[in-house]
Chains A and B, each alone.
Chain A
Amino acid sequence: MTPILEARGLMKRYGKTQALAGLDLVVNPGRVVALLGPNGAGKTTFVRAVATLLRPDAGTLHVDGIDALRKPAKVRQVIGLAGQFAAVEEAMSGRENLEMVGRLFGLSRKEAKAAAVTVLDQMQLTADADRLVRTYSGGMRRRIDLGISLVGTPRLLLLDEPTAGLDPGSRIHLWDAIRSLVVTGTDILLTTQYLDEADQLASDIVIIDHGKVIAAGTPAELKTRAGDDMIEVHVRDADDLPAVSGVLAKIGHNPRADLPQRRAYVAVDDGSSGLMDTLRVLDSHGITVEDVSLRRPTLDEVFLALTGRPAQTTDSPRQHARA
Chain B
Amino acid sequence: MTDTYVLAPSPGVPRAAVNTGAGLRVSSLLVAGRMVRKFARTPQLIVFTTIQSALFLFVFRFAFGGAIGTGGSLSYVNFLVPGFIATTILWAGMGAATGVAEDVEHGFIDRLRSLPIPRAAVLIGRSLADLALMVWSLAIAAIFGFAVGFRLTGSISEALAAFGLCVLFGFAFEWVFMVIGLVGGTARAAQSMGMMITPLVFLSSAYVPVKSMPTGVRQFSEIQPVTPMINAVRGLATGARGAALLEHSTGYYVGLSLAWAAAIFVVFGLLAFLRFARR
Contacts and interface: CB of A to CB of B under 8 A. Distances in A.
B4 to A, nearest CB: 4
B248 interface: no
Interface stretch (B14-22, B148-156, B169-177): B14-22
Contacts of B227: none
Given A53-B114, A91-B41, A217-B7, A105 B107 contact: no
Interface of B is mostly: loop
Contacts of A76: 21, 114-116
A203 interface: yes
Contact of A87 (B5, B13, B15, B111): B111
B171 to A, nearest CB: 24
A187 to B, nearest CB: 8
A216 interface: yes
B26 A91 contact: no
Contacts of B18: 77-78, 155
A24 B4 contact: yes
A136 to B, nearest CB: 15
Interface string B10-35: 11111111111110001100100110
Contacts of B114: 51-53, 76, 79-81, 158
Nearest to A186: B16
Given A24-B4, A153-B17, A184-B14, A101 B115 contact: yes
B33 A83 contact: no
Nearest to A83: B107
Nearest to A55: B279
Interface in B94-117: 106-108, 110-117
A104 B15 contact: no
Contacts of A38: none
A132 B41 contact: yes
Interface string B105-144: 0111011111111000000000000000000000000000
B274 to A, nearest CB: 14
A184 to B, nearest CB: 7
B16 A105 contact: no
Given A1-B9, A91-B42, A185 B108 contact: no
Nearest to A154: B16
B1 A87 contact: no
B110 A81 contact: yes
A2 to B, nearest CB: 9
Nearest to B14: A185
B16 A106 contact: no
B211 interface: no
A72 B279 CA distance: 11
A31 B9 CA distance: 7
B3 A24 contact: yes
Given A26-B7, A52-B114, A89-B108, A103 B37 contact: no
B38 interface: yes
B2 A87 contact: no
Nearest to B185: A322
Interface string A23-66: 01111111101000000000000001001111100000000000
B34 A106 contact: no
Interface string A3-32: 100001100000000000010111111110
Interface of B: 1-22, 26-27, 30, 33-34, 37-38, 41-42, 106-108, 110-117, 279
Given A76-B116, A77-B116, A158-B114, 10 more contacts: A24-B3, A26-B7, A80-B114, A87-B111, A104-B115, A153-B16, A153-B17, A155-B16, A182-B13, A216-B5
12 contacts: A24-B5, A25-B7, A26-B6, A31-B10, A52-B279, A53-B279, A87-B110, A89-B108, A91-B41, A91-B42, A92-B34, A104-B30
